[in-house]
Amino acid sequence: MSGAQGGAGRYNGAAVAVHIDTTRRGAAWPRQREALAAPAVAVVTLIVAAIATHAAGVRFRDPDNVAAKYVVIMVVAVVGLVLLDVAIRAGRRDRTWRPSRAAMREIRRARWTPSRLIAAGGGLLSFYLAYLGFRNLKGALPFLRPELTDARLAHADRDLFLGHDPATLLHSLLGTGVAAHVLAAVYAAFIVFLPLSLAVALVFSSRLSTSLFFATAMSLNWLIGIGSYYLLPSLGPAYANPLEFADLPYTEATRLQAMLLSDRAGFVRDPDSGIPQAIAAFASLHIAMSFTALAMTYLLGLGGRVKAVLWAWLGLTTVATVYLGWHYAIDDLAGVVIGVLSLAIAQRLTGYDVRAARRAPST
């Protein structure tokens, strides 16, 4: 081999090595993006909350340790779900409902590696850190944006419904008896649905990237949602026009509404000792997050039964928010927009490839 040929060979070899290294780094980078996207959203939300609470002259805090309690509960739940996931996969492999310990140990080591546990745990923690920032931003709202837009939102609702109030129409159509209790139960069940949907995605999804994409989108709901509250600060129909809901029976919803109103009054009067207020109408995050979960079923091409259940959930939640006076109908439409934005931004942040996720085999 001549010197020139040897040099060319060494050059080509180096080029191949560089190409392989670049490919590896390129392949690793999307996973890094996926793992860091939700934490980045949480950090931004916390920074904005710190700035806002300082500007409002109120303390940044975890009201009644709610976020901390949720994290503890969710960690325990996720550990249980991980064990269930391992047992199910080991059972499928051994074709028995009582898999051996060796099979479960092998599945656990192969699927729940330290890197996967850290990434999934980071997605879960980020969601609740974003919620912590959201709650503090919500508390500062009456001090930074004291003017209310309920009259404008109520007017927009009447325009949408040809001069009629949508809550009054629902009361006439569904009555103010059993329907109130059923819809109040649906609305209250959101606090179970929300963490459960995230936990299920983090644990049972066949691809970790799917879990992290969903966690990022759900975290973005908190950030974009609080932005909508500052854009159009409002209390909601039940507070702005309580006589319209006076015929509803006492339910968990009315109890919660009274408690939140009392908390708001105490907090505005004495921010240092009061519980940070949590009343805001525009837009509905119940709808935003429910829509985000529903949209995921279509992005991943999941079965019709799952879609039907989530469609029913979204429909009942939409009716409940208006019927009980938590939100204006236009708030629910805005919630859908927030869900779409959250998914779109999450896709950009994580680099998530929906088509690849559909083609990927289950693991």
The mean per-residue pLDDT over the stretch 30-43 comes to 89
More confident residue, 351 or 68: 351
pLDDT of 21 strictly over 80: no
pLDDT of 22 strictly over 70: no
pLDDT for res 4: 41
The mean per-residue pLDDT over the stretch 52-64 comes to 92
The mean per-residue pLDDT over the stretch 189-202 comes to 85
Q: Dihedral of CA 319/321/324/330: which sign?
A: negative
| pLDDT tens-place string over residues 305-319 | 989 999 999 999 999
Low-confidence winner among 49-53, 77-81, 247-251 (lowest mean pLDDT):
77-81
pLDDT of 90 strictly over 60: yes
pLDDT for res 361: 56
The mean per-residue pLDDT over the stretch 153-172 comes to 97
The mean per-residue pLDDT over the stretch 202-212 comes to 86
pLDDT of 13 strictly over 60: no
Q: Dihedral of CA 237/190/130/34: which sign?
A: negative
pLDDT of 93 strictly over 80: yes
The mean per-residue pLDDT over the stretch 323-337 comes to 98
15 burial level (CB within 10 Å; 0-12, 13-18, 19+): exposed
CA distances from 233 to 147, 154, 230 (A): 7, 13, 5
Radius of gyration of the chain (CA): 24
Q: How far is CA 239 from the centre of its chain?
A: 26
Residue 5: band (very low, low, confident or very high) from pLDDT cuts 50, 70, 90: very low
pLDDT for res 16: 34
The mean per-residue pLDDT over the stretch 7-28 comes to 38
pTM of the full predicted structure?
Answer: 0.86
The mean per-residue pLDDT over the stretch 145-157 comes to 97
Q: Please give the Cα distance from 260 to 276 (Å, whole number).
A: 10
Query: What rounded mean pLDDT belongs to the chain?
Result: 87
pLDDT of 29 strictly over 60: no
| CA-based max dimension of the chain | 97
More confident residue, 301 or 190: 190
Residue 41: band (very low, low, confident or very high) from pLDDT cuts 50, 70, 90: very high
The mean per-residue pLDDT over the stretch 189-196 comes to 85
Name the nearest CA neighbour of 256 among 319, 248, 206. Answer: 248
Secondary structure of the chain as H, E, C letters: CCHHHHHHHHHHHHHHHHHHHHHHHHHHHHHHHHHHHHHHHHHHHHHHHHHHHHHHCCCCCCHHHHHHHHHHHHHHHHHHHHHHHHHHHHHHHHCCCCCCHHHHHHHHHHHCCHHHHHHHHHHHHHHHHHHHHHHHHHHHHHHHCCCCCHHHHHHHHHHHCCCCCHHHHHHHHHCCCHHHHHHHHHHHCHHHHHHHHHHHHHHHCCCHHHHHHHHHHHHHHHHHHHHHHHHCCCCCHHHHCHHHHCCCCCCHHHHHHHHHHHHHHHHHHCCCCCCCCCCCCCCCHHHHHHHHHHHHHHHCCCCHHHHHHHHHHHHHHHHHHHHCCCCCHHHHHHHHHHHHHHHHHHHHHHCCCHHHHHHCCCC
The one-letter amino acid at 150? D
Highest mean pLDDT, choosing among 12-16, 95-99, 159-163? 159-163
More confident residue, 241 or 68: 241
| pLDDT tens-place string over residues 270-296 | 998 889 999 999 999 999 999 999 999
Residue 164: band (very low, low, confident or very high) from pLDDT cuts 50, 70, 90: very high
pLDDT of 11 strictly over 70: no
